[in-house]
Structure 1
């Protein structure tokens, strides 16, 4: 279950990165057209981009580690991205990654199979 939750976090981070790049490009175009509201779009778009990259990196590390602490880092990166994300779509995707991090934190560990009771062994 943890592995799946980290894969969900990576997928949401990649999609949020694509959306934040589109937000920054669109907001930069509005800056050059002289629109006053564009600065309110570009700043959080950059924040969403940086935190999406951080979420992808932390989730990839958590795929290798598979511990509760790495799940907490995934949830923390997703929470920060949700708060700073910018647009509703970026924040929504990072909120889904937050759910993935929380699932990884609170999922049960699979029981270890004793070596003497394995079939064929």
Structure 2
């Protein structure tokens, strides 16, 4: 299950339990809408409560990253899991965005706010 939050320049997603393809499609739809009407956005992915993900989500992530290679300014990933941290760094190969991994949400939001203020 996921929850989403968004503002003019930010899309925030929190994953609880298993990250399923239906969840990922919901995330994609929100990003597509934001990018279409507002251009580049920042992304906050809170994966601290994620129990895992399905193989089709991994495949969808690769396709999505390639399609949206230029649509993100910064991507903040919240996690304490080493595997997810490593995966975040690998995904940086597919996008132009700066990618940072955090374990503190306030720090992640502050980092993302830096670009939002600079873009104004």
- Higher strand fraction: Structure 1 or Structure 2? 2
Q: TM-score, with normalisation over the residues of structure 1?
A: 0.31
| Higher normalized helix content (fraction of residues) | 1
Q: Structure 2 length as normaliser, TM-score?
A: 0.31
The structure with more radius of gyration:
1
Larger relative contact order (CA 8 Å, sep ≥ 6): 1
